[in-house]
Structures are given as structure tokens and as C-alpha cells.
Structure 1
């Protein structure tokens, strides 16, 4: 499969990087296609003349309803994933979204917008649950060396859905006369990705082996992991991975406890975990501070601020912006995230994005493109369109949050990551129209604000966020307990490689007696009260 040089903590058979694990990740990422389409098509569709003629458009209220549903859906994904598993949770999210999308189709001029509002809340609930469970599931089935790439499928799916959502309203606007049919088609298309998602799950998505072992379904877990790794159960790589999962589950039961609420007590009761939670969930605040979701939700408004006027021109430009995002996301997932790593790519995105936003703000303040009376773009406006997108911040927070915690607490932390995403999405959806009205002519101050926020994110990343690439999920505590985040990755990976070499695995009998390792023992000590050394490190 696609990828550059892969680094693992132990010798890895090439068969581990196979079509089965990619297929499971791609199928799970159909959740992101429905999410991306939903986030893109609505703002452009309600700007169609046919929609405005039938209803008018209350953009903020409608988007807020969707995001409120997503927020609560991301919370609901936690108990569903805990009790029923990732696979059934994803299927439920797909069906709920499909139901919501179907309800929206009942709206017309006589019934009003109530069906759209209700449908968007229900669809949003499905979106929220899927946004919780998809990165969690992919992170749990992925080999460490391609974990960023596989979780990156979620981001690619989001951008593919967004690309269709941006272009379809332009297509119906140019090919279909204004009518109910014109605006109804983009609403109906929502059912396609959610339907394909629901159909694909039974065929391509195997339940997470980590979840199965945590539920004492060990034989099924070994069978699923053997299928995903394309290796026999007695292969040394398989034995080592099952050993690590067994040990993590054992440590969870010792240190975290059992039951639904035990991980909550652990995360909020232990300072070293709570600190980590604050760091990784804050990435979604910085993500929204790049301005990318403001563009997603209010693309026609924002493109008008740089001089793009006329309905068709605005819709076409929005579609072209979707092309830029999709191509950039493919490069990010297949060439950058597992090669450059999470930290480096965020730093590059912050620095480059800040420069771009400062340029756009200066262009609007000086050139005043918002006062143009012709629909054509000058060279400055054309450049501004392509300056908007900071690809590194769109998907990387999802990757980091899917892998930053080991064991049972990961279900809780991934849930809180998803809710953080939707909370900040809600905030930006509410604030963006007011910001454009009050922050300078043409809203140039909005771009200066986003640029300044990206500058502020740089020290946050450097001093608080360790590089997580190539580190097994079961060893994340060792990484985060290192007192020097900037250099922790290389040091921890070298330690793991040395330990693996000193402790070879010979046969399947080793499955019965999994060896303890330094990182997991440190986690148990921390969870049970900690040592002075670890308290200092935390």
C-alpha cells in the first residue's frame, strides 16, 4: 500500500500492511464522507434561489441545530461503543443519520422548515456518534507505522464528502431550473454515503480486537486480529501484539477498575491523565482558530469578502476550494502524517497558515475587493482563494486524539475529543457572521484574528505535545510521562526496540504469560498513587 519508510517498535512482516486493514479503515471512513457532505452542502444549498424562494434561509439556526445534535451524539457514542462495540455503534450511527436525512425531505413551503430542523438534529446525532467511534476504531485496528495514514482516511473521507457537497449545489444551479427539485436533490444525496456506510459495515468492518479482549471474548479477538494482520495466530508478531493487549487489559482492571464509570474516575482523578486530556482536546480549539470551519460553514459569505460575487461564481469557487482541500488531504494522509509526524506537520501548518491569513487580511484591508461591482476575480482574489486552507490542522487533531491514550480510558477520551470538536464548531458557527460584521471593512480583522491564533498555537505544540507516531497504543503512557516532550518519541522508540530485542517471543505458549514492560508498569504505579519520580515527570 501507499507509504514511505515505515518504522515499527519490532520486526514487522510486510503482510501486516494489507488490503484488509485498509478496507476496514476506508469503510469506517464512509462515516466521514457523510459528515463532510453534511458540513458542506447545507450552506451552499440554502443560498440557492429556489430554496430562498420557498423558505427563506436561517443559516445560523439551522447549522446550530445540526451541531447541537452532533455534540450530544458524540456523548451517546461512548455508552454505545462500550456496551455494544465499535462495529454495532458505527452501524447505528449510519442508520440514525439516514433517518434524519429522510425526514428533511418532507419539508416544503406549506410545512415550513420544521422537518429540516428536526432532521438535522437527528442526522447530527448520528454524525456525533460516528465522529467519536470512527477514529477510535481505526486507531485500535491500525499497525503503529501506518496508524496516522489509516486514521487519515477519516480526514480524506471528510474532504471527499465536502467536495461533493460544495460542487453539487453548483451543478443543480447550472443545470436545473429553480424549483423544489433543484434544492431537494442536494438534500436527498445525503442518503447515499450513509447508506453505503451502513451496507459496507457487515462486510468489511471486523470488531476491534482490543474491545473484544476487554469484554473477555479473546478467541474472537485473536481471530479478528489474525484476519486484519493477515498472519496466523501463532506468528511471533501476532503473539507479541496479543501479549501487549492482554497486559494492557490486565493493567486496566488493576489500575482503572471495571465498569462504565471507572475510566471517568481515572481520567478526572489522576492529574497526569487529566493534563494530557486538556492538551489533546485543546487541539480542536486551535483547529477552529485556523478559520477552516468558518470557511466550510459560510463559504459564500467568506468568498464574497474577497470579491467573488454572483451566485454561480460563488458556488463554483466554493467547489474549486473543495478540490484544493481534497488534494491537500490526500497528500497529507499518504505522504506526510506518518513521515513528518504529527508535531512537525502542525507547526508547518500553523506557520504557513498564519502567513496566508495575514496576506488575505492585508489584501482585503488595502484592496477592498468587497466593494467590487464585477463578478471576475483579480489576481489578488484568485491567490486568496488558495491561501485559505491549512490542511495539517484539519485532520491531525483527530489522529492525535485517537492514539494518545491506552486501554479503557481511550473510550472516554475519544468521546471527549469528539465533543470538544463539536463544541468549538458550534462556537465558530455562532460567532462567524458577527465577526464579519464587526471586525473591519470586509471582515479583514477576522483573518488577522485567525492568523494571530495560529501564531499562538506554535509554543503550545512545541512545549506540550509529544510526537506520537510509531509508538504502540499500549506504550502511550511511557511517551507522555517523559519530561521532555520534544525529544520523547525517539527516546521511547529506541527503548522499545531494545526491549523487544532482549525479550524475543518464541511460541504461542507465551500468550499465557505476557511479560510486563516498563511503560505499562509505570502506568499502574501512577494510577495507584504513583511514585515521586513519576509525579515529578507528570
Structure 2
């Protein structure tokens, strides 16, 4: 089997892999463009001379300024934490689509409030607006991966959820470069720093328009008893007739999955919380949370939010040079996200990517920390414009930083979102994603709130901390995270029952093909509902 061959759980008509499913995923992923932009632009905006002068940063002590910057950045993550939890309620009652609309409107209101800030009014409007915008972002970060996962054919689910990550990186790329652009082409003024704040409304507006043209999640419609509408949406999404064997099978799997959890847990707003008594469900919630602990522990969000601080620790000085270096970082991430999306995630799988990324990324972080320890951040010369000229060791450290980006981006950047969107059953998927998104934003908040303090207190030790976290993550992934590539959503319970975890995917895929009467994965025999309920019978 070629590395580019899609791994299917059953024979799948080519019509299933059509433009409609990609279009719906792309529209929903404009939410990620908003998230990525907001995560990237704020750090460099705080370094713009026009912003620092308007809000009189020079009047603050070093510690006071560090606290102010961290508060401006971190209140966004705090809002996102609560928004991601609120999305569980809205998705239960309103559905995935209307939830996206509601949270995007909240974001737009918050972004608009920020535009009213100036030196006389102070930073209150920016801080308050970022709380509200963060709340909207948190809700979108919960809804978008669920929506995409629920409409995706299993063989390309990673690729489609990966469009969400691609949107994040494209938004981040614009966020990283916009301040380089305004700093290079505009004189310092209020307009100069307002432009980055205003641009965040563009992808939000596109999302509000685009979401009017995409359907509700068919699985959510089934769960609410709106069967006729659900079948119509599913057939449109798969580009197949209701009488097609593939559609009949998929509907039977969804029905069996819903019936199983209504029987064992029960439907309703609070019922998924009851399922948390099950140790198997607890394990999945813990795995989802720890994936984001290790993602943030790798150092990515410290770089996203405080890239000028990070590059200064390596030896890059001068505002424009720092912005340029940050912009190149965004380009590398975006290019590699395309590779991850189109080739790696659905062919190499989730586990292997995470482990390779952690091994390579850890080695790079050890090198960077060692360089700063031995050479210090002052190992460079400065020209008349205040820009830096690095030593050969400093150039090697910058190379290692970009090499770390090459390891991290196609592994830990988006893969935790893919795993969390697909490893829960229908009854706990929204709650599980709320848990994952809330954990992501909680650890984002910790990083955003304390990164500057960490660099001030630990120096090179920050990089050793990131390197150590990546080593620990290898052990965690190998022993506890099963490969979900190609597994139908309705069969995830069986995947997590299979032992050992590092071979669970092969064990289950072999079982599915045997139950399908398809030893080689090519016959057209019909799968039965029974194998999704775990009894392994053939009818």
C-alpha cells in the first residue's frame, strides 16, 4: 500500500470525496483564521512604537510593563476559556451552525470595542474588548472542529479537520506580517496601530456571510430527531441518493450509535456528564486535556504571543528586524501546514507525527537553550539603525528555531485538534470538545500570563523546560494515544477498548474488514450494525 493511499474502513464511492464537504469545512474554518490572526498580531502590535507612545509604556517600570502586556494578551485567553465551555450549551440547544453565528457576532462586538481605545481613554477598551472577543473565539474553537468532524468521511477526516488548522496558520501569517508592513510603510500614528486591530473583523465578516450557505451537521440533526432533514443533508454532503448502500450503512451506524448511548446513558443536556462515571470516558477526557498541556508546553504559544521577546532572547534586536524574523516564522508554519494537511495527517497518521515532532523539536530546544547559556543574548553587534548582526552561533540558533518550527508544525500544531474532534461518541462529543478547547485556552492563558516573567527569571532555562515537556510527551503518546486514522466515528469506543494502544488501529481495522467480508479491503460486502456495538458478529 502506497503512503498516499487513503485508509478506508469500507469500500467508499468516489462521489463521497466531493467539493461540498471541502467547501463546508473551508467556510467553517474562517473561524480559525480569526483565531490565528488574533493569536499572532497582538504581540507585535504591543511592540509598535506608535502603540507604545500612545499608551505611554515608557512611564511603567520593567515589572509593571511586563504585567501590563501580559494582562492585555492573557484576558483574551481567559475569555476564550469560558466561551469554549459555553459552546457546549449552545451546541446542544442551537446546533453547530447557529452556535458559530452567535459566537462570531460576539467576537465582532468585542473587536469593535477595541477600536474605540486611545491614549486619553486608556487601555480599558482594548482589555474589555479582548475579553469579549476571546469569549467568541473560545466558542468557535469548540464548534468548528466538531462540525467538520461530523460531516467528514473517515478516510479524509484528518485532512478536513486539518483545514481548520490551515485557517489558523493563514490567519497567523497575516497577523505576523501586518505589523511588519505598517511599521515599514507608515509613520507612527494612531492609524498605524489601529489597522492591525481592525483587520481582525475581515475574516469574521467572511465567516458570518459564508455560514449562511452551509448546512447544519447531519449527526446533530439525527440526535435531535430531525430525521428527514438529516438524511437530506447527508445525501447532499455525500453526493449520493438515499437508496445508495453507502448512505444506508452510514445512517444505520449513526442510528445504532445513538440508540446505544440513549440506552446506556440517555439523551439530554446533563446526561453526557453522567457518562463521566465511566472510566473509559474519563480516560478520553484526560487524553484530550493532556494533548493540549503538551502542545502548550512545547513553547508554541510563548512564541506566538511574545515573538519579539523570544527572538530578543536569541539575540535579535531592532523592531523591524524582529518583525521580519517573526514573519518568516509565520511563513514556515503556513507552508508546512499545507504539507501536513495534504499528505501527512491522513497517511502517516496521528501518533507517528506527534512522536517524530516531539523528538526533533526537543533536540532543537536543547540546542537553543545551550547556545543562550554559553554565548548569552549579547553575542551580537548592533548597527546605527539598531538592527543586530548575529555571530555564527546565533545564526545556528536561529536555524534551530526554524528547524523546531519544521518539526512542530506538521505534528503538535494541529493534530491535537484532529484527535479531540474524532475520538468521542455522539453523546459526549460536544462535551469532550468543550473539555479540550477549555484546556487549550487555560494553558494558553498560563503561557500568555507568565511567559515574560519566565524569560526574566529563567532565561535559557525556559527552552530547557520546553524541551523536557516534549520528551515527556513522547512517552505519553506511545503508551496512551491510539491511532484514529481511518476509524469511523461510531467505532471509536472499540478503538479505545483495543489493547495494546500502540497497535489498536491495526487490530480494529482488521476486525472491520473481516466483519465486512473484505480481507483485502476491496470487496463490496455490507458492514453490519453489530460490529459498531462491539459484539463482532456477522449477519
Query: Please, what TM-score do these two structures have when normalized by structure 1?
Result: 0.92
Q: Tell me which residue corresponds to 1:101.
A: 111
Deviation above 4 Å: which 4+ runs of structure 1?
502-506
Pair 1:418 & 2:420 matched: no
Partner residue in 1 for 2:494: 478
Q: Distance in 2 between the 1:370 and 1:122 partners? A: 40
Q: Which residue of 1 aligns with 2:218?
A: 209
2:273 aligned to which of 261, 264, 271: 264
Q: How many residues align?
A: 509
Q: CA RMSD in A?
A: 1.7
Q: Larger deviation: 389-398 or 48-57?
A: 48-57
Map 1:248-263 → 2, pairs under 5 A: 248-263=257-272
How do residues 23-422 of structure 1 correspond to structure 2 at under 5 angstroms?
23-56=23-56, 58-203=68-213, 205-266=214-275, 268-374=276-382, 375-378=388-391, 379-389=395-405, 390-391=408-409, 392-422=411-441
Structure 2 vs 1, CA of residues 329 and 173 (structure 1 numbering), >3 Å: closer, same or farther?
A: same
SS at structure 2 position matched to 1:376? strand
| Matches of 1:385 and 1:462, distance apart in 2 | 25
User: Is contact 1:364–1:370 with CA below 8 Å preserved after alignment?
Assistant: no
Aligned residue in 2 for 1:511: none
- Alignment of 1:465 with 2:511, yes or no, is no
2:505 to 484, 489, 512: 489
Whole-angstrom distance in 2 between the partners of 1:13 and 1:341: 22
**Pair 1:452-2:468 in alignment:** yes
Distance in 2, matches of 1:198 and 1:70, equals: 19
- 2 CA distance for matches of 1:522 and 1:301? 56
Match of 1:520 in 2: 533
CA distance in 1, matches of 2:404, 2:80: 25
Distance 2:177 2:16 in 1: 37
Report if the CA contact (8 A) 1:8-1:470 is conserved: yes
What is the deviation of 1:329? 1.0
Task: Tell me: CA distance 1:517–1:358, structure 2 relative to 1, closer, same or farther (3 Å).
Answer: same
Offset of residue 227 of structure 1 = 1.0
Residue 370 of structure 1: CA displacement? 3.5
Secondary structure, in 3 states, of the residue corresponding to 2:188? coil
Distance 1:519 1:27 in 2: 31
Partners of 1:73 and 1:40 in 2: how far apart? 20
Provide structure 1 residue ranges, at least 5 long, that are not aligned to the other structure.
507-513, 524-538
| Contact residue 281 and residue 401 of structure 1 kept, 8 A | no
Indicate conservation of the 8 Å contact 1:357/1:387, yes or no.
Answer: no
Structure 1 residues 35-44 or 423-432, which shifts more?
423-432
CA offsets per residue over residues 455-504 of structure 1, 9 Å max, x none?
Answer: 11111111111100000000000000112111110110111122123897
Cα separation, 2, equivalents of 1:223 and 1:357: 51
Gaps of 5+ in 2: 58-67, 383-387
Measure, in 2, the Cα distance between the counterparts of 1:283 and 1:63.
23
Structure 2 vs 1, CA of residues 450 and 431 (structure 1 numbering), >3 Å: closer, same or farther?
same
The CA deviation at 1:102 is: 0.7
Q: Distance in 2 between matches of 1:66 and 1:238?
A: 42
SS in 2 for 1:467: coil
Q: CA deviation at 1:429?
A: 1.4
Checking the alignment, whether the CA contact within 8 Å between 1:166 and 1:318 is kept in structure 2 is yes
Deviation at 1:373, TM superposition (A): 3.6
CA distance in 2, matches of 1:5, 1:248: 28
| Contact kept? 2:11, 2:524, Cα under 8 Å | no
Aligned pairs (5 A) from 1:437-448: 437-439=456-458, 443-448=459-464
Distance 1:113 1:483 in 2: 54
* Partner deviation per Cα, 1:7-39 (whole Å, 9 max, x = no partner): 211110111111100000011111000000000
> What are the superposed Cα offsets for residues 109-139 of structure 1, whole Å, 9 maximum, x if unpaired?
1111111111101100110000000011111
**Which position in structure 1 is the counterpart of 2:63?**
none
